[in-house]
Structure 1
């Protein structure tokens, strides 16, 4: 079976998500900070009347905080029924990958690697990390953010 992924970059690292979870891609707009939000939640933006939490994906993945600018984009995805924005550096392409070509993430000793990644796939002679979106924003942290908004 094949799946379609949208690939994108964060600091020259290629990542991907299932295209079925992507609702739109929008230009960077400043966020409104929310008190007591987890550090990886940059705040919220208004998306046609919807309060959209925006996650600094680099910080969420443990790669450090990004200072977004007009070159960054927000990928709007649906995570467990909740629309969420992910700050990324740039969007690359839509690719089709065979399920059999997706390798499980190696055990690197980190506590969350297996929770964060669906797997790894070779895309255009590079390794793309396929994210588990359910881990990126689900749970009590996001519920608290939405209630505060």
Structure 2
């Protein structure tokens, strides 16, 4: 399967993606746990049907030491016993932030309060930013139909 556009090698897209991609370094340096970041990116990507990002972030999570069991259960996190309360709050916020048009008013106060109970202001900024950025990447990849399966950890580092 070939993508509709080769955004990774297009000069205009390259200038745009350079800025969007630079958020990855900032998020990596943030106080939000890396495991939480990857779980949120995977869940949003699953919801958005972005195979490219699901492939990328599951492989990055595995390379960083995440367990296969937890990765297998991200889509069913509510029924799984392997996630912390903080991770559950982050996943709930990610789901509501990704499905923002599904509810009047967007993210519920309960979801926000759940996240705020577990994360400080800097972590919340990083969490909200991670949700926003992965949704942008999901939309880009889904629109241009970037194929999934060939990503290698560290490929875009």
Q: TM-score range by the shorter chain?
A: under 0.3
**Which structure has greater strand proportion?**
1
**Which structure has greater helix proportion?**
2
Give the TM-score taking structure 1 as reference length: 0.28
Q: Whose relative contact order is higher, 1 or 2, with alpha carbons under 8 Å and at least 6 apart?
A: 2
Give the TM-score taking structure 2 as reference length: 0.27
